[in-house]
Amino acid sequence: MSTPVFQHAVLIGKHQAGGVSRTLGEIASWLTVQGVEPVIEEQTSLQCELPGYPSATLQEVGHGASGDWVAIVVGGDGTMLGAARQLAPSGVPLMGINSGRLGFITDIAEAQWPQALGAMLAGHFEREQRAVLAGQVLRDGETIYSGIAINDVVVNRSGATGLVELRVEVDGRAMYAQRADGLIVATPTGSTAYAMSAGGPILHPSLPGLVLVPIAAHTLSNRPIVLPEQVHIEIEVASRSDVGVNFDMQHFADLLGGDRIRLRIAPYRAVFLHPPGWSYFSTLRKKLHWHEILGVED
């Protein structure tokens, strides 16, 4: 048996989903046989019955990880995004086993994990780096929140009625002012999430760009726009109240008039590992049912 390219694997599971504990236990046992030390993410360990294995927070994994660590996520895209946000700064790569529904980035079928992980631990995988969006919320010039997103940052109304009024600057220059239900700033990864449902374009994940997508804009001429990756975006809240911001759908807090959200691409990337032969277009065909239209099968 050849030496695995990774010596340590942190296992992360959506513990609320049925059957995940069993799958995680099977993977941990299998990894041990392969010569890989399994470590259970702390919250996963608290919720799942996996005795006999050490546990650690993802922060601890990131601080101590070298190039022989990998994260294996069992769940859906939300679980994968949560892990990626914590591990991206340290460069720990992630593999995703899909026990959810869509699975745009958790692309290993749950029933096929032994074959997929066997090949990937032997070094046969597609390595992909995805952009990470970093942001700050400022009030009266002071930073009151900092966060990152793999998919998107969304500024939208938090009340039941009324439009959000926003002013957008790009690299210090006025771009537009708009009244809408909100505004989505999405990475290429997030272009197939909320941004797509709001009418935005799909960006290939290798593209160095960001997409701004208004949500139900009051003026029809306010259209989605794709910007270069290196720009700095600043959004000022002109509305007085009932405006919120979230990073990958993780709600921060209600905003006040005059608050500003500063966004830029982070200096690091989220690293995803895919099974051999993985194709982004194959994922789109399966998840968006393009094969039904084009008659293309994988």
Please give the positions annotated as active site.
Answer: 77
Q: What is the DSSP letter of 200?
A: P
Decide: residue 294, CB within 10 A, 0-12 exposed, 13-18 middle, 19+ buried.
exposed
Write the CB contacts of 25 (distance below 8 Å, at least 6 apart in sequence). Answer: 48, 49, 50
Give CA 205 to chain center in angstroms.
Answer: 12
**What is the C-alpha to C-alpha distance for residues 55 and 248, in angstroms, rounded to an integer?**
26
Contact yes or no for 115/30 (Cβ under 8 A): no
In whole angstroms, what separates CA 160 from the centre of its chain? Answer: 28
CA distance 118 to 113: 8
| 253 alpha-carbon distance from chain centroid | 20
SS (HEC) of 101-127: CCCCCCCEEHHHHHHHHHHHHCCCCEE
For residues 211 and 195, give the distance between their C-alpha atoms in angstroms, rounded to a whole number: 8
Residue in 73, 77, 75 with CA at minimum distance from that of residue 104:
77
Please say whether the beta carbons of 155 and 148 come within 8 A: no
d(CA 12, CA 84): 11
